[in-house]
């Protein structure tokens, strides 16, 4: 498996991912994170949130998946770190909320590994992940 040829500063073509309430419920079950702020409007608003929000870890997983797909090998992702800067509010409708993912090449190491700065922007145009960095193994 060879990574796409890139140099520092290159932008990776982005992707939009739409999340509905059903996606949050599926992730809650798969991850075991049953915190009701991710499925109960009543609980979410009671703790001061504007509504049901996506798991930060789900947004992180989508961003990691974007990187894995770019690399062409899910096992090539060597590290991924991020800050959760803003919640993604997911409405109770069929349209859901769209997260826009993108990445910029931060470094290419001698061993061929690539460091990507990953961006994730919520429906309101504001970043939902901050300082997101992924290192992908080269070959």
Q: How far is it, in rounded angstroms, from Cα 28 to Cα 32?
A: 6
**Alpha-carbon distance 68 to 110, whole Å?**
20
The residue among 137, 53, 69 whose CA lies nearest residue 103 is 69
The 33-72 site mask, x for binding other proteins (CB under 8 A), equals x-------------x--------xxx-xxx-xx-xxx---
Residue 22 or 124: which CB sits closer to other proteins? 22
Which residue in the set 6, 10, 39, 78 belongs to the binding site for other proteins (CB under 8 A)? 78
What span, in angstroms and rounded, lies between the C-alpha atoms of 61 and 137?
A: 18
Min dist CB 30 to other proteins, Å, is 4
Eight-state DSSP code of residue 89 = B
Nearest residue (CB) to other proteins, 27 versus 121: 27
CB of 43 to other proteins, least distance (A): 10
**Please, which residue, 7 or 48, has the CB nearer to other proteins?**
48
- For the beta carbon of residue 87, count every other beta carbon within 10 angstroms: 20
How many Å apart are CA 17 and CA 2, to the nearest integer? 26
Exactly one of 70, 80, 88, 103 binds other proteins (CB under 8 A); that residue is 80
Of 3-11, 27-35, 91-99, 112-120, the window that binds other proteins (rule: CB under 8 A) is: 27-35
- Provide the 10 A C-beta neighbour count for residue 65: 15
The residue ranges that bind other proteins (CB under 8 A) are: 17, 23, 26-27, 29-33, 47, 56-58, 60-62, 64-65, 67-69, 73-75, 77-84
């Amino acid at each position: 498996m060879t990574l796409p040829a890139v140099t520092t500063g290159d932008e990776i073509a982005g992707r939009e991912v739409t999340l509905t309430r059903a996606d949050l419920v599926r992730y809650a079950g798969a991850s075991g994170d049953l915190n009701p702020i991710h499925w109960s409007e009543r609980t979410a608003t009671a703790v001061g949130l504007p509504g049901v929000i996506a798991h930060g870890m789900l947004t992180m997983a989508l961003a990691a998946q974007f990187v894995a797909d770019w690399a062409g090998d899910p096992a090539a992702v060597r590290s991924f770190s991020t800050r959760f800067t803003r919640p993604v509010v997911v409405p109770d409708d069929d349209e859901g909320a769209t997260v826009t993912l993108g990445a910029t090449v931060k470094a290419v190491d001698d061993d061929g590994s690539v460091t990507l700065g990953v961006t994730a922007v919520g429906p309101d145009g504001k970043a939902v992940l901050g300082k997101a960095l992924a290192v992908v193994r080269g070959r």
